C-alpha cells in the first residue's frame, strides 16, 4: 500500500473549479508547512491533517471547511503566521483555524458535575459549528492513532472524547461520528469494560451476522413481490460502546438487548416507510412494546425513523429500522447534512427548529429562516451571549448568567463557600467580590469564617441560587437578633 496521500480523496465531482483550486492550494501549503515534522507513530505530520480533511470530505463538508481541516494545525505547530493565512486564504478560513486552535486548549479533567458546562463552553467558544465539526474530525483521527501516546494522556483524551466530543456529536444528530468517536476511544477510556464486551460478542458475532443476512434477503424478496422500491437494505452491528452502556442498564444480560443487530431499509418516501413496516409485521412477529414511530415523534436530536423488533424465526430477534433517504443522511450526519446536501429541500429547513431542539435551546432562536445557508449563518454561535463561563483554579468550568459576580460563583460551588466569601482572586489578581466576571475568568474564592452575607450582596448577584442563600442567611440572622434582644429585655 502506498503512503502517498492523494488530493483526489478530498475532491468530489460536484465541486466547482474554484473549490478544487482552494483545496489544492491548502494541500500544498499544509504539506510544505509541516515538512520534516513527524507524529509519535513516526508518520509525517502532514498525514494527520490530510486524514482530518478526508473525514471532513466524507462528512460532505464544503471546500472551505476541508481546506481549514488541512490547515488546522499550521498556526499551532508551524512557523506560519496569521497574516500569511489571511493573505492566502482569507478571513473565513483564518477564523476556522483559530477556532480549532482555541478548542484544543480545552481540557476535561473528569469532574462529573461540570461536564455539561464544558460541553456548552465547547460550543460557545467555537463560535461556528464548522469549527466544532473540524475539531471532531481532528479528534477522531487522533483517537485512531492513540496507541502511540503516553498511557495517562491516552486515558484522559479517550475519556474526554466520550464525555465531551461524542456526546456533543450526538446532540447535533451526528450519529455516525458519535459511534466512530466512541468506538475509537472505548478501548483506551475503559479497557476492562472493552474486553468484557469483546468477550461477550466473540462467540455470537458470526451467528448474528448470518441471521441478519438471511432476514435481509427474505425482506428484499417480499418488497420486490409487493413492488416497493427500496434504495438500500443494509445491516449493522451495534457499536461496542453503546452496547456496553445498554448492557450496564440490563444487568449485563445480552439476551435483554434487542438491537445488537439491525437491518436498515431506506425507501423513497414516508408512505413507503409505513408500507414496509406492514410487510415486515406480516412476515415476522413483532415484539410488543418495541414498535417505535420516530417519524411522527422525532427524538430530541432530530432522529427520525420507524423501529420494530421482530422474532427472526431463527431463534433470535432483530431490529428493523425503516426510513427515507433524507432521514438516513440526517441520522448519520445530523447538522452536517445541511452542508452535505446542496439540494437540501429548503422547505424542510423550517422543521429544523424541531430537529435541533438542543441548539435552539442554547441559542434561543426566535425563528429559523427558510434558506439553509442563512440558517447555518445564524448558527455562527452567539448562542451564549447571555452566559459566561468561569473557571476554577483547577480548570473546572462553571456556567453563569452574564454580569455574575464572584459571589454567584462562590454559591454555585457550595452554599458554605458562598456564605463566607470575603474576597476573590480574578485571574490571580485580588478583586472586589462585587466585580463583574468576564467570560473565561479564572476565579478563586477567599473564605473567612467571620465573613457573612449582607443585604447589599443581593444587588450584586444574578443567580437565584445565590439570592436564595443570601436571603435565607439574612432571615435567619434577623430572627436570631430578635430572639437575642427579646432574651435580654
Ligand atoms: Mn490536529
Rounded mean pLDDT, 41-69: 92
Residue 374 pLDDT greater than 90, yes or no: no
Name all domains of the chain by residue range, CATH numbers in brackets.
Answer: 2-189 (1.10.3210.10), 198-336 (3.30.460.10), 366-488 (3.10.20.30)
The single residue listed with the C-alpha cell 415476522 is 284
Dihedral angle computed from the Cα positions of residues 353, 358, 361 and 362, in that order, rounded to the nearest 10 degrees: -120
- Structural element, H or E, at residue 175: helix 175-189
- Of 166-180, 231-245, 256-270, 353-367, least confident by mean pLDDT is 353-367
Model pLDDT for residues 250-267, shown as the tens digit of each residue = 888 888 888 888 999 999
d(CA 3, CA 6): 9
Rounded to an integer, the average pLDDT of 353-365 is 40
Average pLDDT over the chain, rounded to an integer: 83
Of 128 and 324, the one with more pLDDT: 324
Residue 135 Cα to ligand 1 middle (Å): 8
The pLDDT tens digits for 378-422 are: 443 344 456 777 888 876 778 788 899 999 999 998 999 999 999
Dist. CA 203–CA 279, nearest whole Å: 32
Q: How far is CA 421 from its chain centroid? A: 36
pLDDT at site 377:
45
Instruction: Please give the grid coordinates belonging to residue 456.
Output: 447589599
pLDDT at 338: 61
Q: Is residue 76 annotated as part of the catalytic site, yes or no?
A: yes
Conformation bin of residue 319: beta by default, left when phi > 0, alpha when psi is -120 to 50: beta
* Coil/strand/helix, residue 341: coil
How far, in Å, from the CA of 133 to the mean position of ligand 1?
Answer: 12
| Lowest mean pLDDT, pick from 70-74, 183-187, 359-363 | 359-363
Is-catalytic flag, 419? no
In this predicted model, what pLDDT tens digit does every residue of 191-203 receive, in sequence order?
999 999 999 888 8
CA of 73 to the centre of ligand 1 (A): 5
- The reported pTM is 0.68
Find the mean pLDDT for residues 331-354: 53
Q: Which of 9, 76, 345, 361 is catalytic?
A: 76
User: Tell me, what's the pLDDT at 111?
Assistant: 56
State the cell numbers at 395.
Answer: 480548570
How much of the chain, in percent, has pLDDT values that exceed 70? 83
* CA 376 – CA 392 distance, rounded (Å): 33
Helix %, strand %, coil % of the chain (to 5): 60, 10, 30
Which tops the pLDDT comparison, 284 or 370? Answer: 284
Question: CA 44, CA 157: separation in Å to the nearest integer?
Answer: 22
Residue whose cell numbers read 443581593: 458
**How many Cβ atoms from other residues are within 10 Å of residue 272's Cβ?**
20
Q: Where is pLDDT greater, at 4 or 194?
A: 194
Average pLDDT over residues 128-147: 90
Q: Which comes out higher in pLDDT, residue 443 or 380?
A: 443
57, 187, 261, 354 from 298: Cα distances, Å: 27, 32, 22, 8
What does the alpha-carbon distance between residue 318 and residue 298 come to, in Å, rounded to a whole number?
Answer: 22
- pLDDT at residue number 337: 67
Strands (E), 268-394: 292-293, 306-311, 317-324, 387-391
Could you give the CA distance from residue 215 to residue 279 in angstroms, rounded to a whole number? 13
How much distance in Å is there from the Cα of 392 to the middle of ligand 1?
Answer: 27
Considering 92-101, 277-286, 295-304, 434-443, the range whose residues carry the highest mean pLDDT is 277-286
Candidates 121, 234, 97, 229; CA nearest to 176 is 234
Segment 63-82 mean pLDDT: 94
Question: pLDDT class for 120, splitting at 50, 70, 90?
Answer: low
Kindly give the distance from the C-alpha atom of residue 71 to the centroid of ligand 1, in angstroms, as a whole number: 9
The residue that leads in pLDDT, 286 or 109, is: 286
11 C-alpha to ligand 1 centroid (Å): 20
CB-CB contact of 10 with 16 (8 Å): no
Tens digits of per-residue pLDDT, 276-293? 999 999 999 999 888 999
Q: Which long-range contacts (CB under 8 A, 24 or more apart) does 449-455 make?
A: 449/420, 451/420, 451/421, 451/422, 452/419, 452/420, 452/477, 453/418, 453/419
387-391 and 421-426 strand pairing? unpaired
Say which of 77, 88, 92, 293 is annotated catalytic.
Answer: 77
Cell triple for residue 444?
Answer: 478563586
Which residues are CB-contacts of 336 (< 8 A; sequence separation ≥ 6)? 59, 60, 61, 133, 172, 174, 177
Strand partners, 307: 292, 321
More confident residue, 310 or 402: 310
Strands (E) located in 275-348? 292-293, 306-311, 317-324
Contacts of 364 (CB under 8 A, 6+ apart): none
Max avg pLDDT among 255-259, 361-365, 431-435: 431-435
Residue pair 441/405 in contact by the 8 Å Cβ criterion: no
Q: Provide the pLDDT for residue 229.
A: 92
**Measured in angstroms, how far is the CA atom of residue 98 from the centroid of ligand 1?**
12
Residue 280 C-alpha from the chain's centroid: 34
User: How far, in Å, from the CA of 72 to the mean position of ligand 1?
Assistant: 6
Amino acid at each position: 500500500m502506498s503512503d502517498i496521500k492523494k488530493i483526489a480523496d478530498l475532491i468530489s465531482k460536484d465541486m466547482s473549479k474554484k473549490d478544487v483550486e482552494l483545496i489544492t492550494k491548502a494541500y500544498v501549503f499544509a504539506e510544505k508547512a509541516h515538512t520534516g515534522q513527524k507524529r509519535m507513530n513516526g508518520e509525517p505530520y502532514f498525514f494527520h491533517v490530510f486524514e482530518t480533511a478526508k473525514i471532513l470530505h466524507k462528512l460532505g463538508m464544503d471546500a472551505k471547511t476541508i481546506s481549514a481541516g488541512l490547515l488546522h494545525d499550521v498556526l499551532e505547530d508551524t512557523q506560519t503566521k496569521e497574516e500569511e493565512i489571511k493573505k492566502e486564504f482569507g478571513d473565513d478560513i483564518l477564523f476556522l483555524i483559530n477556532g480549532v486552535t482555541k478548542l484544543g486548549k480545552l481540557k476535561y479533567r473528569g469532574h462529573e458535575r461540570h461536564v455539561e458546562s464544558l460541553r456548552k463552553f465547547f460550543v460557545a467558544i467555537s463560535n461556528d459549528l464548522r469549527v466544532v465539526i473540524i475539531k471532531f474530525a481532528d479528534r477522531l483521527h487522533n483517537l485512531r492513532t492513540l496507541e502511540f501516546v503516553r498511557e495517562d494522556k491516552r486515558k484522559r483524551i479517550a475519556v474526554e472524547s466520550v464525555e465531551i466530543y461524542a456526546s456533543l456529536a450526538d446532540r447535533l444528530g451526528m450519529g455516525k461520528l458519535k459511534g466512530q468517536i466512541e468506538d475509537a476511544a472505548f478501548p483506551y477510556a475503559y479497557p476492562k469494560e472493552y474486553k468484557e464486551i469483546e468477550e461477550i460478542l466473540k462467540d455470537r458475532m458470526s451467528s448474528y451476522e448470518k441471521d441478519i443476512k438471511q432476514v435481509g434477503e427474505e425482506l428484499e424478496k417480499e418488497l420486490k413481490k409487493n413492488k416497493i422500491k427500496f434504495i438500500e437494505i443494509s445491516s449493522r452491528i451495534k457499536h461496542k460502546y453503546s452496547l456496553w452502556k445498554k448492557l450496564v442498564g440490563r444487568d449485563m444480560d445480552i439476551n435483554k438487548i434487542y438491537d445488537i443487530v439491525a437491518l436498515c431499509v431506506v425507501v423513497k418516501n414516508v408512505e413507503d416507510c409505513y408500507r414496509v413496516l406492514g410487510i415486515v409485521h406480516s412476515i415476522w412477529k413483532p415484539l410488543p412494546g418495541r414498535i417505535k414511530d420516530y417519524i411522527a415523534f422525532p427524538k430530541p436530536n432530530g432522529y427520525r425513523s420507524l423501529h420494530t423488533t421482530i422474532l427472526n424465526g431463527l431463534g433470535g430477534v432483530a431490529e428493523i429500522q425503516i426510513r427515507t433517504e433524507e432521514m438516513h443522511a440526517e441520522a448519520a450526519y445530523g447538522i452536517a447534512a445541511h452542508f452535505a446536501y446542496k439540494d437540501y429541500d429548503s422547505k424542510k429547513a423550517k422543521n429544523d427548529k424541531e430537529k435541533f431542539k438542543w441548539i435552539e435551546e442554547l441559542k434561543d432562536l426566535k425563528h429559523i429562516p427558510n434558506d439553509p445557508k442563512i440558517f447555518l449563518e445564524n448558527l455562527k454561535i452567539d448562542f451564549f451571549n447571555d452566559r459566561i463561563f468561569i473557571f476554577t483554579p483547577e480548570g473546572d468550568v462553571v456556567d453563569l448568567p452574564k454580569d455574575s459576580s464572584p459571589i454567584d460563583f462562590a454559591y454555585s460551588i457550595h452554599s458554605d463557600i458562598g456564605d463566607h466569601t470575603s474576597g476573590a482572586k480574578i485571574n490571580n489578581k485580588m478583586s472586589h467580590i462585587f466585580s463583574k466576571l468576564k467570560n473565561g475568568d479564572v476565579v478563586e474564592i477567599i473564605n473567612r469564617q467571620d465573613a457573612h452575607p449582607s443585604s447589599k450582596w443581593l444587588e450584586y448577584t444574578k443567580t437565584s441560587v445565590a439570592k436564595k442563600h443570601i436571603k435565607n442567611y439574612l432571615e435567619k440572622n434577623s430572627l436570631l437578633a430578635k430572639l437575642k434582644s427579646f432574651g435580654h429585655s
